[in-house]
Each structure stands twice: as C-alpha cells, then as structure tokens.
C-alpha cells in the first residue's frame, strides 16, 4: 500500500521546465488534481494535473490519442467538471493514471510535442471544487488544540475523558466549502457575553480561522459495512489544505449540548489541488502514541498504521490585512505546524467514521481539525494564538489583532520535504473576510 515506486524517484525531471526548479510545489513527483478552466473565456471546468507553473488539461489529454486502456478510461472520467467518477474508480486506477502521466511528462518523453498542446498556464486558470462533496466531517485530531481550546471554554476541565479514546468529530456542512480565493461576509448570529443575562444578535466579533488538512475519500463503502484499518488508505484519494473558518462567539453560545452549528457552516476554504495519497508515500512516518496515554483500541491499530500511519507535512498560516495590502507589506506568518502532531492518523479517522456501518461516498471530505503543535508558536487558530483574545498579536505594520477583521486575508500553505525525496507542495488556501451584510 505504501511502497515507493518509480513515480517517486527524486531524480525524475520534466520537459515542463518550471517543474524542475526545486522550489515549485508541483514537480513531476507530485501530480495533484484540480478542476479548472481558463479565466475570461466561456468554457467548462474539467480535470487538471499541476506540473510546474502549468496545468495539464485532462480533457485535452483524453482527446489527444496518446493513451488507451485503463489510462484512457480514467482520463475520460477526469474530463468531466467534477472528479467523483474518477475518484470512485479506486486506488489501482489512480495509480495506473499517475504512472502514465509521470512517464508522459518526464524529460525525454516522446509525448512532449503532442502533450505540450494540452498545457494551460496556471496564471490563466481559475478553479472550482474538484468534486461534488456529498458529506463533510470535521475531526478534532490535535490534542494540543483540544487542550488549548478546552481550557478557554472549560477552564476546570479542558480535555474531556473521551478524547484519548475516540477520534472526536462532528458532521459539518459541505455546501459552503469553496476553493482558494473564496470571499464571504462576516457571519451574523446569536452570541452571549459571559456576564450578560440574555444573548444579543449581530455580526460575529470573534471570527477565527482553523488551519487543517482535508482528506478526500475516493472509493466508498456500502451502508452497513465498515472499512478496516488495514483497508482505510485504499479508500483515500488524497489531501488538501483546509481553512475551517469559525465564529468563536457564536460557537461559545450554541455549542452545548450538540456541538458546532452556525459557528462553522458559513464558509470553509480548501486549496484547489488534491495531492494524492500515492504522492504522499515518501513523507510517511511512524505513528507514535505516548506510552502514558491509552493505546488505540484494536480496531484502530495495525502494523502499517503504527509504522507508516503518520504524515510529515509542514504547514504554515499567514495573515495579510487590508492595511498591509494597501501599504505593500507582505503577508506575515502567524504559525507553523505539521501534520505529524495529529493524535489520530488518517486511517484511524476513516475506520472510526465507518465502524458503525456509515457509508462513505466518493468525494466525501474529512477534515483533520485544527493542526496545532505542542509549542505556542504552533497554535493554528487565533483563539489559541491570543489566549482567547487576551493577548493581541502585533503585526509588522503596527496593527494588532485578537480575532480577524474585515478585509483580512488568511493564507494557508503546506509542503513535504524529506531527505531522499522530492519537495512537493499543496499550493495554497486563500480566503478573505468581507463586511457583514
Ligand atoms: Mn475545525
């Protein structure tokens, strides 16, 4: 399942020269998927694969006459505006297409002349969500975030006793998920100050981001069946960056007893690119659980999960305010973290989600939860970075922030870099807050 193959070879280069820079997110070892079209012209969205600063148009590749068999069938599915049909074809087909595209895009490929006509410059493209997202579940997989935020909401009882046994999550809202570039009005709702006797109604005053990873299900499972921990990764198509915007004051009033609702359902911003599970193989690491903590139950344990269940993905979140934009000041880093801090693995989240017989469908999205690390500088939400708004962050131009203001743009980036492997990245998730309407 996690064996390296020729597509991961760090020495591979592409005839698309920008893929060979060493700093691009999209070398030939990556080959992530999106749904795109050219800006400013009337045409339909279709599947694309990133290569350097270009996109390989998979609809054009499907009509190029270069491919046949399983690869051609896969490309025809990728020519649609949503990739669900391709994602449902399963890990073997994803892998077959990956190998074919890797070979076709390599330096020296005889397909160069024909395939170079299927490239679109990324700067000329716009994106949409790469698949229909039937359902969205948000997990809570950083014990550091859970402890930090639990201490703010429940000072006497920060980490509830179920946390170290169950991958905690809630069913979210998929309709308001959009790709990078999303803008949305500040949400309005009910809030209640701790000392107020009654709630009030108005714009959210404690608007926050959450740096997360998104996990896309490819092949699903039938209702009444479950996905074992050994099988879980065969169901995972790939991962993206994910910003789960959160209205903390709305959350604080509404979340008991059934969990987040309107505090989370107004917008979520994903990166346009899904980096496939296969592309992530070189950056897999051991999953370690502190020996003083409860060890995962048997249904959440396997040798593969212990040896290779973790992922080493560097994550960064940056802020650009309206004043910074006006003053030509670059976005400033708020925090750096890593997917390796997750208390639960991707396989454990998938397996737990289905253990009662819940059916997953192609395109379903699981988000990891805010991926905060152990250090204060690795806190991946404003509520943690400012201790619930008590300690404002000072920005390079002298502005301060406790929570997000109108005009603020939050940028999430992520990449994998490891000795003996190519550097691959996820692109970015960019979202901007507009005034309440
Ligand atoms: Mn979240």
**Residue 324 sits in the same domain as residue 197:** yes
- Domain enclosing residue 113, as ranges: 6-127
CA nearest to 52, candidates 424, 436, 395: 424
Asked whether residue 280 is domain-assigned, the answer is yes
User: Residue 24: which CATH number?
Assistant: 2.30.30.230
**323 and 370 housed in the same domain:** yes
Share of the chain above pLDDT 90, in %: 97
Looking at the structure, do residues 214 and 259 belong to the same domain, yes or no? yes
* Distance from the alpha carbon of residue 370 to the mean position of ligand 1, in angstroms: 6
Distance 325 CA to ligand 1 centre (A): 27
- Each residue's pLDDT tens digit, 344-371: 999 999 999 999 999 999 999 999 999 9
Report yes or no on 11 lying in a domain.
yes
Q: Look over the chain and give the mean of its residue pLDDT values, rounded to a whole number.
A: 97
Decide if 165 is inside a domain: yes
Query: Are 94 and 224 contained in the same domain?
Result: no
Distance 367 CA to ligand 1 centre (A): 7
CATH no. for residue 153?
Answer: 3.90.850.10
- How many whole angstroms from 3 Cα to the centroid of ligand 1? 31
Asked which of 127, 152, 177 is the last residue of a domain, the reply is 127
Full-model pTM? 0.98
Bridge partner residues of 217 (DSSP): 236
Q: Which helix H or strand E contains 35, and what residues bound it? A: strand 33-38
pLDDT tens per residue across span 311-345: 999 999 999 999 999 999 999 999 999 999 999 99
Decide the pairing of beta strands 177-179 and 268-270: parallel
Task: Please state the domain count of the chain.
Answer: 2
Residue where a domain terminates, one of 74, 103, 127 = 127
Q: State the catalytic residue, choosing from 8, 54, 145, 353.
A: 145
DSSP line for 302-329? -HHHHHH-EE--EEEEEEE-HHHHHTTP
Specify if 1 maps to a domain.
Answer: no
pLDDT at 117 over 90: yes
181 CA from centroid of ligand 1 (Å) = 19
Distance 87 CA to ligand 1 centre (A): 24
In a domain, 91, yes or no: yes
Checking if the pLDDT of 154 tops 90, the result is no
Say what the pLDDT of residue 144 is.
95
63 and 166, same domain (yes or no): no
Is residue 102 in a domain?
Answer: yes
Do 290 and 152 lie in a common domain? yes
Q: In this structure, are 118 and 245 located in the same domain?
A: no
Cα–Cα distance, 174 to 181 (Å, whole number): 17
31 and 117 assigned to the same domain: yes
Cβ pair 401, 393 in contact under 8 A? yes
Instruction: At 78, give phi and psi (nearest 5°).
Output: -75, -15
Domain-terminating residue out of 107, 127, 147: 127
What pLDDT sits at residue 153? 79
Clarify whether 145 is annotated catalytic.
yes
115 and 140 both lie in a single domain = no
Task: Say yes or no: 174 and 306 in one domain.
Answer: yes
Flag whether 65 is in a domain: yes
Determine the average pLDDT of the residues in 116-134.
98
pLDDT interval class at 408 (50, 70, 90): very high
- Work out whether the CA dihedral 358, 360, 361, 365 comes out positive or negative: positive
What is the DSSP code (8-state) at residue 164? T
Whether residues 64 and 164 fall in one domain: no
Residue 69 has pLDDT above 90, yes or no: yes
Q: Are residues 183 and 326 in the same domain?
A: yes
- What 3-state DSSP class applies to 94? helix
416, pLDDT greater than 90: yes
For the segment 412-423, the average pLDDT, to the nearest whole number, is: 97
């Amino acid at each position: 399942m996690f064996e390296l193959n020729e597509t991961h070879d760090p020495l591979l280069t592409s005839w698309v020269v920008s893929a060979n820079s060493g700093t691009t997110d999209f070398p030939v070892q990556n080959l992530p998927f999106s749904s795109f079209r050219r800006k400013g012209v009337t045409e339909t969205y279709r599947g694309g694969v990133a290569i350097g600063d270009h996109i390989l148009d998979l609809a054009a590749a499907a009509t190029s006459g270069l491919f046949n068999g399983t690869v051609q069938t896969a490309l025809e599915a990728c020519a649609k505006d949503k990739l669900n049909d391709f994602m449902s074809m399963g890990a073997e087909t994803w892998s077959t297409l990956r190998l074919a595209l890797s070979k076709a895009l390599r330096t020296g490929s005889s397909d160069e002349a024909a395939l170079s006509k299927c490239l679109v410059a990324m700067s000329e493209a716009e994106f949409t969500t790469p698949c229909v997202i039937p359902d969205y579940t948000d997990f809570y997989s950083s014990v550091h975030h859970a402890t930090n935020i639990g201490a703010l909401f429940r000072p006497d009882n920060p980490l509830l006793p179920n946390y170290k046994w169950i991958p905690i999550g809630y069913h979210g809202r998929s309709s308001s998920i959009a790709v990078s570039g999303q803008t949305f009005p500040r949400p309005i709702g009910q809030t209640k100050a701790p000392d107020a006797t009654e709630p009030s109604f108005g714009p959210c005053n404690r608007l926050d981001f959450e740096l997360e990873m998104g996990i896309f299900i490819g092949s699903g499972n039938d209702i009444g069946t479950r996905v074992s921990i050994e099988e879980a990764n065969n169901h995972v198509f790939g991962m993206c960056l994910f910003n789960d915007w959160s209205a903390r004051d709305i959350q604080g009033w509404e979340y008991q007893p059934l969990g987040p609702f309107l505090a989370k359902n107004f917008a979520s911003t994903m990166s346009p690119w899904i980096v496939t599970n296969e592309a992530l193989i070189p950056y897999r690491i051991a999953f370690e659980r502190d020996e003083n903590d409860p060890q995962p139950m048997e249904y959440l344990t396997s040798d593969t999960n212990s040896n290779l269940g973790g992922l080493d993905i560097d994550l960064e979140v940056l802020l650009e305010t309206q004043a910074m934009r006006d003053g030509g000041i670059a976005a400033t880093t708020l925090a750096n973290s890593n997917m390796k801090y997750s208390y639960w693995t991707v396989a454990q989240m998938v397996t737990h989600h289905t253990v009662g017989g819940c059916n997953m469908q192609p395109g379903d999205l699981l988000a990891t939860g805010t991926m905060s690390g152990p250090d204060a500088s690795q806190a991946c939400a404003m509520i943690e970075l400012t201790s619930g708004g008590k300690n404002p962050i000072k920005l390079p131009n002298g502005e301060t922030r406790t929570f997000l203001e109108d005009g603020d743009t939050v940028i999430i980036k992520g990449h994998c870099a490891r000795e003996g492997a190519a550097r691959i990245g996820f692109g970015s998730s960019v979202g901007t807050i507009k005034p309440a309407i």
